[in-house]
Structure 1
Amino acid sequence: MATLTENRISPEVRAERERFYEKIGRDDYAPLWEQLHSLVTKVPTSACRTAHWQYATARAYLDEAGKLITAKEAERRVLILENPGMRGKAAITPALYAGLQMILPGEVAPAHRHSQSALRLILEGDGAFTTVDGEQSLMKRGDFIITPSWTWHDHGNHTDQPMVWLDGLDVPMVAMLDASFAESGSTEAQSFLRPPGDSALRFGNNMAPVDAQPTPNRASPLFSYAYVDACASLAAMATSGTPDACNGYKLRYLNPLTGGSAMPTIGAYIQQLPAHFASAPYRCSAGTIFAVIEGSVTVTTPDQTFDAGPNDVFVIPSWVAHEFKVRERTVLFSFSDRPVQEALGLWREQRNAN
């Protein structure tokens, strides 16, 4: 075992310490002074690495997967986006999971529920549905949809084209807390308890039922956030103000009852980078997953530069400085564990980061 003072102690003292460490280890103790420097670091030192997944490659793999296994057989036909620095952990950052899911025409992904919270960003297709706690929402490209913790949800596709979306879940976070629970439904699809769009009419017009209270899972009562509405808000920002030097025009998706994040463990955001925009260097403590909805962006970090186009996904780890540069108007969706870090007083950012 290497020690902090390895070069300043005699071989005799080193050997004596090693015997002591071995002795206390048999009773399940360990010396903090040998690990403190790696446990309490001056800046984040994550195994997470910057990575980029091109949609063209992913789409070909999804087509192949569609021929190998049905959505019902798989329960969820998803390709996990594994961070190259954390292979085998089913994680894209230490706190979050991401995957690409495909539902073929006529398929249903059966109903289940789990303690993990999930989001969907629709990448391809128009008109398939997801049902959350008895309310069906049709899905269009760019829509942001949530399935909060412990809500029943199933997906289906009655169109004649495949549907593909980006999944984001707090799987690693829930696993770290040993709080994973799951349950399969007794039927393939849920019964409808409310008409489609009911939650949007109740909570999406800057109003709410008079006695409405936050749910135990602290998630938004809205299940679907339409891309067309997000675009209208971004356009309004772009006509009445200058872009932020780091983020362009950026919005966060909210819980209308609390004003907080749509889900307590995952923050979701959408931003517009105007044509010819070049961002100032930026970094924050929340490892962030991005997906390109419109346009394309050149991403530069200290160790690499790459171009991301429509439906591509990329991840920027915690405290990694990055810059965005675009030629045309570009829209990015992103999600991170920022709400958890903010709730715990841990979140930090640095503009014009070196």
Structure 2
Amino acid sequence: MSRVVVGMSGGVDSSVAACLLKEQGYEVIGVTMQIWQEEAREFQEENGGCCGLSAVEDARRVAARLDIPYYVMNFRKEFQEHVIDYFTEEYLRGRTPNPCIACNRYVKWEALLSRSLSIGADYIATGHYARVARLPNGRYSIRRSAASAKDQTYALYNLTQDQLRRTLMPVGEYSKEEIRRMAEQIGLPVAQKPDSQDICFIPDGDYASFIERNAGKELQKGNFVTSDGRILGQHKGIIHYTVGQRKGLGLALGYPAFVLEIRPETREVVIGTHEESLADSLRVTDVNFMSVEDLTEPRRVFVKIRYNHKGVWGTIEKTGEDEVTCTFEEPQRAVTPGQAAVFYDGEYILGGGTIL
């Protein structure tokens, strides 16, 4: 019998994932990853998040209902290094990071998989709405969820071949409604628990205050400027802004204004029109190929440039050792440095990288 460690967040998706795998004959062990730093208990209970104290209590109750072993594993060090510090440093560089992608790659997979293998597990599993597939060329890829409305593949593009071959994602075959119905039928106490929405370590959504606390310094103000250097006013500090942002600028220019660029070295936030915010192409680095080993010739793909992006067709080609350029078939707004561009070949992820 194969042994699988299921990352249990205390939510309905990972809870049903554990149930499905047990029904399929796996020896299932439930694990909640403790990633919170040493906040006060009251703060953790109030804000919850995917790995707070309430998550542990909910996951433990689910594990008891399913009659599976359950443990809490401490991953605070890995989370601080690969997620919180990365998140802070990217904002200070004028970029917009995606902490969920970093957490998936380095904490939920790399760290959890290593710890799971050490206790004799064959696989790890999560409650993501995505599927793992082995392709005819022998490589593993992430396949879109059967329920497109809940598809979570974008945030998983960075997983390695070794991680994928040891990963199970049973929830990817179902819709959210079906998962909730299953949870009700088997009497899971989290069947109607709401989905978590915010970044788990900033539940109040105040990124700037969090970054200043983690960086240990107060960020200075700077100027809003046009592309040709004309000063439009003063801003609160570069960490309050992201490329493509329109709301909350506090500028009355007589036309819709967008953030075009952030210049950390001069503390300038460049403002422009909708037309100026459009891009015909992008470049990515830190490339991870998934369905192919490498890109040997230009290829037409479907591209997503942020989690909620509807996607667009484009052509990708290698333009450096660790660089891919994507040319869109129609211009796109808010191509944001630090975010991921993920390239799809049909239902499967071909690869992706970090936008320059």
Scaled by the length of structure 1, the TM-score of the pair is 0.21
Q: Could you say which structure has the higher helix fraction?
A: 2
Q: Specify the structure having the higher radius of gyration (Cα).
A: 1
